[in-house]
Structure 1
Amino acid sequence: MSVYKETLLLKRDFGGLVILFVMPLILIITITLIQDGTYKSMSDVKIPILLVDNDNDTISKTVRKNLNESGSFEVLSQLKGKNITEEIAQDAVFKGKYQLAIIIPEKLSSDLQLKVNQNVDRIVSSFGLTDSTSTNVKNQTIEPKEIKLYFDPATQLSFKNGVKNAIDKMISQIETRSIYTTFQEQLGEGDEPVFEQESFISFKEIVPTINNKEILPNSVQHNVPAWTLFAIFFIVVPLSINIVKEKSQGTLVRLITNPVPYAVVIAGKTATYLVICMIQFYLMVAVGVFLFPHIGLPALDVNGKLFLMSIVAIFAGLAAVGFGILLGTLAKTQEQSAPFGATSVVILAAMGGVWIPVFAMPKVMQFIAHISPMNWGLNAFYDVLLRNGGILEILTEISLLLLFFIITVTIAIAYDKKKRAV
């Protein structure tokens, strides 16, 4: 009968049902569409950048070629049919019209070659192989050169560092190639290269596979579990409000006069709202599996994983229900329960890694994140979806979620019993 009562209350609140079921679906679609670009390879998105080439020689041509071949950038040297100057590039970038401008200085290639020649001549002469024609080169003073980078002030630090590292690598390769070539010329060798110029050390990423198929993370695998947890925990708000209503309207007094313990009343609320949590979960999964492919997003792969995901959702739902019951029991008015419930869910989501990955947080916040039930649920979902984990791998997380439910409900029952005794 307690379950029936809670069901009737929810049926009469149509707006609340819309918030519980429709708003999370809108949220997950919107956020996933926005974040999808960050999970795609850079070759899928070309960023327009400005290039001011004052060198017009080997280095500038190599930089332009590498930028174009990277597939990440669209290199622009003209705007409205006119060549770009440093002043125009600086103005356009600082106004946010472009993310980046690269300014290559004059005589960069020729001065680099002169500098390399000087260094090679010194080394060769130390072996007693001095060439009289190299005297003029040794005596020339060559000022250091710098490639200027203008970034949009709103550009993320990670993008800046990535571009700097890429350009630094290009220039280093050009310098190395120049040194090898100059040595070959000084040694009087033929056209065939004496020195191998290919990189000896390379990097290879090893990713987990299932049935010889690589498991690559995407926006859907992050957003479906993350925002499902957010939606599940948001039932804290209507649940706590209903409990406060029962107290203010006198319904709770009538309930506790029945010859049943308060735990039975709580069990009815738990069962009802846990069903709601599972409906939310399956709706979110259905959106990821069936709707996302039709709007240009990757489909959520739940083959062989839905059962374990359902287990995680059940225990996450229990944790959310326990938190809602505790809040509703402690709060005296709806003005206390509603704002505090919504704010606390947002805080738990932020702490738990729903918005920002935990590894990107400061050390203090990384430690605090481990006490968020959303973090436990999110890690359990990741263990199933991305790490191909089984029941043993998620046992710790679901045990913590169950313990959180037991503790919160126990505190709520004890507080209610103490308050009625007084």
Structure 2
Amino acid sequence: MVNKIWMSVVKEFLLLKRDLGGLIILFIMPLVLVITVTLIQDSTFKTISDNKIPILLVDNDQGSVSKTVFDNLEKSNLFSVDTQIDNKPITEEVAKEAVYKGKFQLAIIIPKNLSVDLQTKIDQNVENIISKMGLVETDTTAQAEKPKVIKEKEVKLYFDPAVQMSFKNAVMSSIDKMISQIETKSIYTTFQNQLGEGTAEFEQKSFITFKEIIPKINNKEVRPNSVQHNVPAWTLFAIFFIVIPLSINIVKEKSQGTFVRLLTNPVSNLVVIIGKTITYSVICMIQFYMMVAVAVFLFPHIGLPSLNIEGHLFLMSVVALFSGFAAIGFGILLGTIASTQEQSAPFGATSVLILAAVGGVWVPVFAMPTIMQYIAKSSPMNWGLEAFYDVLLRNVSFLEIIPKISLLFLFFIITTSIALFYDKKKRTV
């Protein structure tokens, strides 16, 4: 029995050795993928945090508020503010056209008389409050006059249609906070002026602040980065890509008569499947260790953070092994059901892409619609990805990942059993 399994493993390695394209898919493609994607995402993060984004500011106010907005935008380290194009003052129409053509990501339009009208409105409100409190004598003549009606002001924002919604939300939130601070400061200043200098002291520093509590391992802060998110995700993607060469090899065996010759010998189909499982499990682990080695040793030399695997490698290896089992089971099932390579290869590639998309490899599950979040929980890629994140980012123990790796192994058992049952029903020899 052991000798038969060993010979089956040797056969599988010989098949792979002759398939240069399959070897490229299995080893070169994942490395290129993880390096490229991580570089792109890391450089995108640096672009947002380190490089200033050029924006347009149309100042129709020419007052204290617009000056404060301009100064705060310049100090934000996010934006480079331009008030002219080709050394000419810009209008709202010019700014709108420049943004919609993609020359700038954002244009901010400050309305006319914003500073004056804001101060007038605040003066009215403060005077009304103070007069009701009886702190200041009221003028009956002034009371007879109706207060000037101040209409609400709009600060218009024009965004490049190609920018992401997350960028829009971040900018709008930042500007809204800036305007609120300006209003608050103006209100405090007006109260001081109405009550008389030195009568009241208002502290304008924010009372409520925010502090992120960083998780610590061995008294060291653990800050997740693009590498820690991308390496597990794309390692899992690479592992599941063995579905393509595995299913193609099974189809080849059927079409070339190899499988029939195997069955004429005293070899059961179960032995053949065990041989394939061992072979491709070894390949999955080689893929995993190659990806980890690249993330640990190569990434620091190309400007990326190194992957911190201190104390995690064993559990990560366990997750990779069981993820490999799930991918192998799916590949065996696909190869057994498919009749031709034209069926197995496209369907295998497409199904892996769908499982990756649904499982959270490309888009985080929490950002998906509610119904997709439930569907994601049925994807073996999601089970593997969450197990990787549990080990690498959440620092869990082996017992806490047992439910997820059990689901992966159960998926392997179910898919392999279906393949065996289907083959037995369809076999004519």
- TM-score > 0.5 by shorter chain: yes
The answer on whether the counterparts of 2:357 and 2:363 sit within 8 Å (CA) in structure 1 is yes
Q: Deviations over 1:342-369 (max 9, x none)?
A: 1100000001000000001111110010
Q: Does 1:244 align with 2:251?
A: yes
Instruction: Report matched runs for 1:33-48 at 5 Å.
Output: 33-40=39-46, 42-48=48-54
Between 45-54 and 381-390, report the one with greater CA deviation: 45-54
Q: Does 1:383 align with 2:390?
A: yes
Corresponding residue for residue 184 of structure 2: 176
**Alignment root-mean-square deviation, CA:** 1.9
Q: 1:237 aligns to what SS in structure 2?
A: helix
Alpha-carbon distance between aligned partners in 2 of 1:290 and 1:384, rounded to the nearest angstrom: 20
Q: One-letter code of the match for 1:336?
A: Q
Q: Deviations over 1:235-271 (max 9, x none)?
A: 1011101101111111111111221221100111111
Q: Does 1:143 align with 2:151?
A: yes
Q: One-letter code of the match for 1:216?
A: R
Q: One-letter code of the match for 2:148?
A: Q
Q: 1:153 aligns to what SS in structure 2?
A: coil
Q: One-letter code of the match for 1:144?
A: E
Corresponding residue for residue 164 of structure 2: 156
The answer on whether the counterparts of 1:49 and 1:74 sit within 8 Å (CA) in structure 2 is yes
Corresponding residue for residue 414 of structure 2: 407
Alpha-carbon distance between aligned partners in 2 of 1:259 and 1:134, rounded to the nearest angstrom: 113
Judged with a 3 Å threshold, the aligned counterparts in structure 2 of structure 1 residues 134 and 355 are, in CA distance, closer, same or farther, namely farther
Q: Does 1:110 align with 2:116?
A: yes
- Indicate which of 167, 170, 175 corresponds to 2:175: 167
- Structure 1 residue 187: Cα displacement: 1.1
Corresponding residue for residue 354 of structure 2: 347
Q: 2:427 aligns to what SS in structure 1?
A: helix
Q: Does 1:91 align with 2:82?
A: no
Between 311-320 and 28-37, report the one with greater CA deviation: 28-37
Alpha-carbon distance between aligned partners in 2 of 1:209 and 1:298, rounded to the nearest angstrom: 18
Alpha-carbon distance between aligned partners in 1 of 2:346 and 2:298, rounded to the nearest angstrom: 33
Alpha-carbon distance between aligned partners in 1 of 2:93 and 2:149, rounded to the nearest angstrom: 29
Q: Does 1:396 align with 2:403?
A: yes
Q: 2:55 aligns to what SS in structure 1?
A: strand
Between 262-271 and 15-24, report the one with greater CA deviation: 15-24
Between 80-89 and 261-270, report the one with greater CA deviation: 80-89
The answer on whether the counterparts of 2:30 and 2:238 sit within 8 Å (CA) in structure 1 is yes
Instruction: Report matched runs for 1:309-324 at 5 Å.
Output: 309-324=316-331
The answer on whether the counterparts of 1:43 and 1:70 sit within 8 Å (CA) in structure 2 is no
Q: 1:130 aligns to what SS in structure 2?
A: coil
- Indicate which of 31, 43, 68 corresponds to 2:74: 68
Alpha-carbon distance between aligned partners in 2 of 1:216 and 1:315, rounded to the nearest angstrom: 27
Uncovered stretches (5+) of structure 2, i.e. residues with no partner: 1-6
Q: 1:139 aligns to what SS in structure 2?
A: coil
Q: One-letter code of the match for 1:187?
A: L
Between 122-131 and 305-314, report the one with greater CA deviation: 122-131
- Structure 1 residue 207: Cα displacement: 2.2
The answer on whether the counterparts of 1:121 and 1:134 sit within 8 Å (CA) in structure 2 is no
Corresponding residue for residue 124 of structure 1: 130
Q: One-letter code of the match for 2:177?
A: K
Alpha-carbon distance between aligned partners in 2 of 1:43 and 1:10, rounded to the nearest angstrom: 45
Alpha-carbon distance between aligned partners in 1 of 2:221 and 2:167, rounded to the nearest angstrom: 26
Percent of pairs identical after alignment?
71
The answer on whether the counterparts of 2:25 and 2:241 sit within 8 Å (CA) in structure 1 is no
Q: 1:56 aligns to what SS in structure 2?
A: coil
Alpha-carbon distance between aligned partners in 2 of 1:370 and 1:225, rounded to the nearest angstrom: 17
Corresponding residue for residue 26 of structure 2: 20
- Structure 1 residue 208: Cα displacement: 0.9
Q: 2:54 aligns to what SS in structure 1?
A: strand
- Structure 1 residue 193: Cα displacement: 5.4
Judged with a 3 Å threshold, the aligned counterparts in structure 2 of structure 1 residues 124 and 411 are, in CA distance, closer, same or farther, namely same
- Structure 1 residue 279: Cα displacement: 1.0
